[in-house]
Amino acid sequence: MKWFYKLERKIGRFAIKNLMLYLIILYTVGTLLFLSGNQLVYYEYLCMDPGAIMHGEVWRLVTFLMMPPGGSNPFFMILSLYIYWNLGSIIEKVWGAFRFNVYIFSGIIGTIIASFLVYFVLGGMYSLTVMFVGTTYLNFSLFLAYAFTFPDAQFLLFFIVPIKAKYLGAIEALVYVVLFITGSVADKIMIGVSLLNAIVFFLVTKDLSRLSPSNVIRRAEFKKKASQVSLRGYRHKCAVCGRTDEDDGTLQFRFCSKCEGNYEYCEEHLYTHTHVTKEDAERLKVKA
């Protein structure tokens, strides 16, 4: 939606870069706690507990993120750290820091809101479900984001069977749907509110025009041209800042499906540039 793109242009520069690194640091601290046999420290002083938060233990709003992914198995804990580090880093590079910030922070805020809703709805019979949730739904929403962005990426199920990300995402989503239907009130609230960020985010930012035949053809032509080394000594050049892959080999360049013509942008300007309209394209042709 246009308002989201405008918001990105206005405050996008304030986004936290390498946000996934900070999350992984929190995960790593939690993993070390669990591996050293001090998981009770997490559940007594660091986990999400709305009652304790309202009594002044506000640090829990951050420290609950120390819940390590991968369950209680040391091997899967460490493997999960590596997997989520890669998923988050790749998504941030493709989406840009601002969009990734919005997605992650809305997921964190959703988990906090859901926890307090469960607390107030159940009253004195506050469910321990919240205390053991930690980053479960946040990690799932991160995987959903990756599956939406790279549906054909392959994973090795059980380290043997190759399966595409879109199928893994669909299977895991089905599991949560079943749990939502058959689970307790606490489960329904936690799943519904915690994962609301994924639903809202994709509804807000999804650009269905990129699936039109004309844009598919344009992208195919662009990839063909980009695969050929330019006579000027570079393959890719940002239409905004003019930087090329020769200036910085680590820069990522993408084609914009909303611009009229074959324009490519670096990762910094992909989501912040002003789109080239038909009128702009005509004026450029006349000047040329």
Alpha helices of 43-128 — where are they, by DSSP H?
50-54, 60-63, 74-95, 97-122
One domain for residues 59 and 171: yes
Per-residue pLDDT at 209: 45
The per-residue pLDDT for range 70-109, each reduced to its tens digit, is 766 777 788 888 888 888 888 888 778 888 888 888 888 8
One domain for residues 22 and 151: yes
Per-residue pLDDT at 211: 41
One domain for residues 189 and 244: no
One domain for residues 166 and 240: no
One domain for residues 192 and 214: no
Is residue 101 a contact partner of residue 15, using CB atoms and an 8 Å limit?
yes
Rg (CA), the chain: 22
One domain for residues 16 and 144: yes
One domain for residues 141 and 261: no
One domain for residues 57 and 137: yes
End-of-domain residue from the set 205, 239, 260: 205
One domain for residues 71 and 189: yes
Other CB atoms closer than 10 Å to residue 195's CB: what's the count? 22
CA nearest 46: which of 23, 29, 70? 29
Q: Dig out the tokens for 97 from the structure.
A: 């820091």
Q: Dig out the tokens for 266 from the structure.
A: 């670096």
- In the chain, what is the greatest distance between 2 CA atoms, to the nearest angstrom? 73
Query: What is the C-alpha separation between 170 and 186, in angstroms, rounded?
Result: 23
3-state helix, strand and coil shares in percent for the chain, rounded to the nearest 5? 65, 5, 30
Query: What is the C-alpha separation between 185 and 192, in angstroms, rounded?
Result: 10
Query: What is the C-alpha separation between 196 and 108, in angstroms, rounded?
Result: 11
Averages of pLDDT over each 10 residues, the chain, 288 residues? 68 82 90 86 85 88 85 77 85 83 87 84 61 74 82 72 80 84 79 76 57 52 57 70 74 77 77 71 49
CA-CA-CA-CA dihedral for 174, 180, 186, 190, to nearest 10: 50
One domain for residues 59 and 172: yes
The number of folded domains in the chain is 2
- Amino acid 175 reads V
Query: What is the C-alpha separation between 210 and 94, in angstroms, rounded?
Result: 16
Query: What is the C-alpha separation between 129 and 77, in angstroms, rounded?
Result: 20
Is residue 225 a contact partner of residue 212, using CB atoms and an 8 Å limit?
no
| Percentage above 70 pLDDT, the chain | 75
CATH code for the domain of 90: 1.20.1540
Q: Dig out the tokens for 12 from the structure.
A: 């996008």
Report the alpha-carbon angle 138-142-146, nearest 5.
170
Is residue 108 a contact partner of residue 142, using CB atoms and an 8 Å limit?
no
Q: Is 184 left (phi over 0), alpha (psi -120 to 50) or beta?
A: beta
End-of-domain residue from the set 168, 189, 205: 205
Query: What is the C-alpha separation between 16 and 97, in angstroms, rounded?
Result: 7
List the beta strands (DSSP E) in 135-177.
154-157, 161-164
One domain for residues 27 and 124: yes
Query: What is the C-alpha separation between 154 and 166, in angstroms, rounded?
Result: 9
Is residue 45 a contact partner of residue 135, using CB atoms and an 8 Å limit?
no
Domain that holds residue 136: 2-205
* Cα 123 to the center of its chain, rounded Å: 33
Per-residue pLDDT at 266: 82
Q: Dig out the tokens for 11 from the structure.
A: 């405050």
End-of-domain residue from the set 205, 230, 256: 205
One domain for residues 99 and 168: yes
Q: Name the residue with tokens 């479900």.
A: 129
Per-residue pLDDT at 58: 92
